[in-house]
Structure 1
Amino acid sequence: MHKKTDAIATLALYEVEDPSRFGVVDINGRGQIRSFVEKPKIEEAPSRLINAGVYVLDQAIFDIIPAGKKISIEREIFPLLAMKDKLYGMKFEGIWVDLGKPNDFIRANKLMLDLIANEKLFLEKDVKISKNAKIILPVAIGKGAIIEEETHIGPYVSIGEGVTVRKGTRIENSIIFSKVWIDHFTSIRGAIIGEGAIIEGWVKIEDECIVGDHAIINNNVTLTKNVKVCPSKEVKKSILEPETVM
């Protein structure tokens, strides 16, 4: 489409229920974007078609962007191109998820697992799973991961490369990045655990909590209600209300 028009920029567009979190377009029947509004109030949005974050840009874009100046292409350049009739859009019909918030990331994980692991466990090479571990699909497990006895994994769990999940641990609706160590009898539900984190024994992590890369969560700690632990931080006591550990 981009080559068939005189567009300087062509945007992938996606239709959503609530456009107030996104850049929203008003588009005509030829695919030409007549206006571009960044994060409008829902009642002021020109449509429900949003900027999906995928662009095809002509070299002429560099004639419009001021040299040596930091700009927002969405807030400054796209509205200008719309005024000059040089901004086009094409509606995208596939799966698209904004990953701006933890619940968005977890929802995207669900969608992906439904596609690749709904009927069969998705395993990479050299994974070791104990015979009495319980796996509830859909689940994806990365290369070299170790899942010990009496664990319950799933549904909707992605486990990265080199992860160790020790005896009696339960994980559901969560994303575990690579090289994480999860000690015995821990419970992780609806959470994101960053690369190289250490989760000690009898820990509970739930309700959209995020544990950053290489963080350490000590024995018997409970994290709930959107707690965010920054990378390389150590948590020694339970946190039961929204908080960022820095």
Structure 2
Amino acid sequence: MNQNTIEDIRVMVLAAGVGTRLRPLTYRIPKPLIPIVNMPVMEHSINNFHKQGFRKFMCNLHTHAGLIKNYFGSGKKFGVSMEYSFEKNLLGNAGGLKKVENFFKGSGTLLVISGDGFTDIDIRKAIAFHRKKKSVATMVLKKVQSVFPFGITLTSPAGKIKKFMEKPDITDFVDATVNTGIYIFEHDIFKFIPNHNFFDFGKDLWPLLLKKGLPIYGYVTDAYWCDVGNLADYRRTVADVLDGRVNIRIPGEETQGSVWCEKNVRVGKNVKFYRPCLIGADSEIGDGAKIGPFVTIGRGSKIGPAAVVKNSIIWNNARIESGVKIKNCIIDSGAAIKENLTLYEGAVINTEDRK
């Protein structure tokens, strides 16, 4: 087993998904660019791994490929090297890894992460486990109380993977471990993935490795993890970050307990902030507005006088006019909510004009 250093371990970021379950938000942007506290979910992942010493990343692309490539560029501004693989026709997540096999040439251990998975994991602990077990492939697992809509992974007391179960009866398992989509592989993994075929990690590769009797393990993490795969999970993840349940940096200055303000925020008279909340850079809050709790306001957005915003996610450059009342909503970038309108209980306002 090639014990390459953390800095030499290369990371595959899976970002070619369509994001169907997050519609209408993903009509205009891909899932990896969905903002969590005013930063794309994938940026949080890159920052987390950069902090731990990882420097070389490959990202596969399909839907809205140009938006991801334009945002992250060469990776220089994030302190990493970022390369891209465009898939005109989707190859499956394992097939996408096979397509860029040359990127990993000469490497030993490699990582695969999801561009829309949100976590504060210290992956170095999982790598140490992987190497101690002399594992060919290690799946990072998370204990959850509810397994739907996930399949679960059954392991021995030593962590060796014994069985995969797809969407079992929820009453069968009180405390199950689910696949986070974070994988640690040795370079030999490529010989098990066919060329130019659609091939999936969960449905094809992992069952194949198990059938062959290879040493594959599950590492159970106690870190925060959420698959930001639907609107409910998205809202919950943002709330968890604001509530301090995730070990990540919230942008801006904490001007008072659990109220963060980024640069150039203009706040009118008699504005009330109810923590926790985040006010984005270059935004404007009108006189008498009430913001929070559990609110993020995107950069360049304007909240009108006497507006009330609770438990909501406002994206960049949105306009909430005077007297508007919003609760439990997601407001897309560039959306305008007219004065004195009331929006409650899960409304998603999107600006996409589909034809």
Match of 2:150 in 1: 22
TM-score w.r.t. length of structure 1: 0.80
2:145 matched to 1:11?
no
Shift of 1:23: 2.5
Shift of 1:43: 4.2
Match of 1:132 in 2: 270
1:206 corresponds to which of 344, 348, 351: 344
Q: 1:147–1:232: structure 2 CA closer, same or farther, 3 Å change rule?
A: farther
Mapped to 1, the partners of 2:204 and 2:275 lie a distance apart of 45
Shift of 1:46: 10
Match of 2:113 in 1: none
Shift of 1:97: 2.5
2:233 matched to 1:104?
yes
Mapped to 1, the partners of 2:174 and 2:319 lie a distance apart of 48
2:296 matched to 1:158?
yes
- 1:44-92 CA-partner distances (Å, limit 9, x unpaired): 5696011122222222222112211112211221122233233211111
Match of 1:219 in 2: none
Mapped to 2, the partners of 1:188 and 1:159 lie a distance apart of 12
Deviates more, 1:90-99 or 1:41-50: 41-50
Task: Kindly indicate whether the alpha-carbon contact (under 8 Å) linking 1:2 and 1:10 is maintained by their aligned counterparts in 2.
Answer: yes
Shift of 1:100: 2.3
Mapped to 1, the partners of 2:306 and 2:342 lie a distance apart of 13
1:36 corresponds to which of 164, 175, 185: 164
Task: Kindly indicate whether the alpha-carbon contact (under 8 Å) linking 1:15 and 1:50 is maintained by their aligned counterparts in 2.
Answer: yes
Match of 1:141 in 2: 279
Q: Give the residue type in structure 1 aligned to 2:353.
A: S
The correspondence of residues 1-246 of structure 1 with structure 2, limited to 5 A, is 1-43=129-171, 48-83=176-211, 84-115=213-244, 119-212=257-350, 215=351, 231-232=352-353
- Structure 1 spans left out of the alignment, 5+ residues: 216-230, 234-245
- 1:147-181 CA-partner distances (Å, limit 9, x unpaired): 11111100000111111111121111111111111
Mapped to 2, the partners of 1:8 and 1:99 lie a distance apart of 28
Task: Kindly indicate whether the alpha-carbon contact (under 8 Å) linking 1:10 and 1:90 is maintained by their aligned counterparts in 2.
Answer: yes
Mapped to 2, the partners of 1:46 and 1:114 lie a distance apart of 26
Mapped to 2, the partners of 1:203 and 1:55 lie a distance apart of 46
Query: SS in structure 1 opposite 2:316?
Result: coil
Shift of 1:38: 2.8
Task: Kindly indicate whether the alpha-carbon contact (under 8 Å) linking 2:145 and 2:175 is maintained by their aligned counterparts in 1.
Answer: no
Q: 1:125–1:46: structure 2 CA closer, same or farther, 3 Å change rule?
A: closer
The alignment's C-alpha RMSD in Å is 2.1
- 1:84-136 CA-partner distances (Å, limit 9, x unpaired): 23321111112223322222211111110011679231111111111311110
Mapped to 2, the partners of 1:69 and 1:40 lie a distance apart of 29
- Structure 2 spans left out of the alignment, 5+ residues: 1-128, 245-249
Structure with the larger RCO, 1 or 2 (CA within 8 Å, 6+ apart): 2
Mapped to 2, the partners of 1:103 and 1:67 lie a distance apart of 37
| Paired-residue identity, % | 29
Task: Kindly indicate whether the alpha-carbon contact (under 8 Å) linking 1:11 and 1:53 is maintained by their aligned counterparts in 2.
Answer: yes
Deviates more, 1:197-206 or 1:9-18: 197-206
Mapped to 2, the partners of 1:37 and 1:47 lie a distance apart of 14
Deviates more, 1:199-208 or 1:125-134: 199-208
Task: Kindly indicate whether the alpha-carbon contact (under 8 Å) linking 1:33 and 1:85 is maintained by their aligned counterparts in 2.
Answer: no
**How many residues get paired?**
217
Task: Kindly indicate whether the alpha-carbon contact (under 8 Å) linking 1:7 and 1:88 is maintained by their aligned counterparts in 2.
Answer: yes
Q: 1:64–1:46: structure 2 CA closer, same or farther, 3 Å change rule?
A: farther
